[in-house]
Every structure is written in structure tokens, then in C-alpha cells.
Amino acid sequence: MNLRSRINYCGALGAGIFLAAFLGGLVCHGVAAAADSEPDRTAEQECLFMALESAPDGTTIDELRAQCQAENLSDTKIEDKGLLATRRYTDADNKLRPFTLMAHKPNYILVACYNNSPNNSPWREGFKDSEPELDNVETQFQVSIKIPLATDLFNNKVDIFSGYTVRSYWQTYNKDLSAFFRETNYSPEVWMQIHNDWSFWGIKNKMYGFGFVHQSNGRADPISRSWNRVFATFIFEKGNLAFSIKPWYRIPEDDEDDDNSDITDYMGHGEIAAAYKWHRNTFAVISRNNLESGFKKGSVEASWSFPLRNYKYLKGYIQGFTGYGQSLIDYDSKETSIGIGFAVTDFL
């Protein structure tokens, strides 16, 4: 199978996985919404009934009741308990269920994303029979999930999770190149998170943690890109604003195995992120390597998820990016893009 066939095969497989996850999430939400509308039971009775059906053997009634109380808390007003508590209690609703898949990072699709300067250079060698020209407009999507490995350790303060994030860049409208997937980045990770309630000047440190992440594009030379990192994360909130500081350290590789030895010159040694909740809108921004590089090789990503009328489970989504490292194949190429589409989950 030649390179172009392998790319198209992987692209079709990636698209299938995304669509299955995306539609599956909508179906599950629809089932939950139908159950909520049944008039013969109170909300608490309905919750207990549904929890009992999916609970693992040995689960007590008290555990189920606590789960339903957490779910009820997640439906109360944001300002009554804080943004991060909302997310934590929403997660708590699922932790007792076996084989649980939970949202990790935002899950979205940008149906149309315009890039002002597509990076053609990595493909010159891959497409030996032609000079590929990438379209300025493409489709981008991200699927990000996590599963609990161990929860409520040390007096309910510590959880251990593993996660998997796939972000794809799909030349959907490029008929000359058979609408191929120009890049897909895979990020498996594992981390420990510690719940906290320390505060200063009205700012609360709700969580901190430590972990390991591998990121690669799954390609062979000459377009292989990958790196491994250990990281720490510190998450804070104040009112409807949540923000995080995430430093990391790249694990060194042998020179002969390193496909991108200068990647930290562009990706830096950490990122700062912030998200603000306003009614049903979420505004978020991620800054990476700007101060460290003197604003020469950094990046900024900004996004806005907004409601679509009264529909609860699908949101409109706009994302903009400028700088280096939007994808691994473009880690040393500067670009600016903006896209519009839909999100199932966002940062909050």
C-alpha cells in the first residue's frame, strides 16, 4: 500500500471513529433527556432507578444516593458552587459506573477552518509524483476522553485517570488530493489529580496534579513527529473564571531517534489556560511559549462555545489560532486559522 493510500485509509478510519463518538454522545444524551421527562417519578427516584440498573455488584444504596446527590448538585446554579465543583460533581456521577468513558478536553468539529498559510513543505517528499498544494479551508475535529483508574483515594482527595485525545486535520474539500487527512495527532496520557480547597485573595486552588503524556502523529520518516513529557498542573477559580498553569519537562531522546529536536523552542515548557463562563457561553484562551520566547515563537488559541437555541447537548463553536505548533507536523511553521462548527463538550 503506497503512502497516499495509507493516509486515506487512516483518514477514513479516523473519521469513522469521530462520527461514532460524536453521534454516540448525542444518542446517550437523548436517552437521558427522555428519561428525565417521565412524569411518574420524582427526579430523585428516577435517578436512583437509572443508577441501580447500571451499578456494579456490591454498590450500596448510600453510594447510589450520594451519586444522585452529586448529579443534582451539578444541575444547580454555577455561581452557587463554582465552576470546577460543577465539573467534578458531573464526573462523580459517572465514576461508579463500570467501563465509563468521560469527556476530557473539548470535543468538537470545525466544519470549515480557514488557514492563511498551509504548510506544504512536509508533503513534497511524501507525494513524489506531484507537487501537493493544500487547501486553505479544511475540517478539523478533536475527540478527547478519559477513564477513571482509581478514585476517591486518601479520604476522597485523590483520583487517577488515563486519557486519550485525537486531533485531526482533514482536507475535506481538496479534491486534487482525494480529501486526505494531512495530519492526526494522538495523545495518550495518565495523571493523578489531587482535590484541594486552598484560597488566597479570593482565588481558590481547587486541584493540582502530576502526569505523563506521549504525543505523536503516527507517521514514518521523513514526516514522523513525537515527544514525551512529564507535567504538573495547577487549577484555580474565582467566580465564573477558571484558569490553569501547566509546566512540563520534555523527556530527552537519542539524537538518532529524535524527529524534532528543537520542538521546545516552539512549544515551550508549559502553557497557561483560562476559561470564563457567561450564562451558557464559554470563552477560553490558551497561551504557550509567548513570554519564554519573547513573543517570537509562541502561540495563542481562543475559542467560544455558545448555545444553539434551547438544545442542551450540542453547542456552536468558534476557534481561532495564531502562532506555532497547532499540530505536530507544523510545530515550526507559523500559521493563523479560524474555524466554525459544533462542540459536544468544552472546557467547562
**Strand locations in 154-202, DSSP E?**
158-170, 181-200
Q: What is the DSSP letter of 24?
A: H
pLDDT at 168: 97
As a residue count, the chain comes to 348
Helix/strand/coil percent split, the chain, to 5: 25, 45, 30
Q: How far apart are alpha carbons 148 and 339 in whole angstroms?
A: 32
pLDDT at 183: 95
Q: How far apart are alpha carbons 144 and 185 in whole angstroms?
A: 12
Model pTM score: 0.76
In the block, which residue shows the cell 479544511?
A: 138
pLDDT at 30: 41
Between the CA of residue 96 and those of 154, 206, 311, what are the distances in Å? 17, 22, 28
In this structure, what are the phi and psi dihedrals at residue 228, rounded to the nearest 5 degrees? -120, 140
Q: What is the separation of C-alpha 74 from the centre of its chain, rounded to a whole number of angstroms?
A: 21
pLDDT per residue, tens digit, the chain (348 aa), is: 444 444 444 444 444 444 444 444 443 344 333 334 444 455 666 676 666 666 666 666 666 666 665 555 444 444 445 666 666 656 665 655 666 788 999 999 999 999 999 998 887 766 665 667 899 999 999 999 999 999 889 988 999 999 999 999 999 999 988 899 999 999 999 999 999 888 888 899 989 999 999 999 998 888 899 999 999 999 999 999 999 999 999 999 988 888 899 999 999 999 999 999 998 999 999 999 999 999 999 999 999 999 998 888 899 999 999 999 999 999 999 999 999 999 999 987
pLDDT at 69: 59
Could you give the 3-state DSSP secondary structure of residue 20? Answer: helix
Between the CA of residue 328 and those of 140, 181, 215, 269, what are the distances in Å? 14, 14, 8, 15
Q: Which residues does the annotation mark as catalytic?
A: 214, 216
End-to-end C-alpha distance for the chain, whole angstroms: 43
**Cis amide bond preceding 118, omega within 30:** no
Name beta bridge partners: 139.
170
Decide: residue 265, CB within 10 A, 0-12 exposed, 13-18 middle, 19+ buried: middle
Decide: residue 254, CB within 10 A, 0-12 exposed, 13-18 middle, 19+ buried: exposed
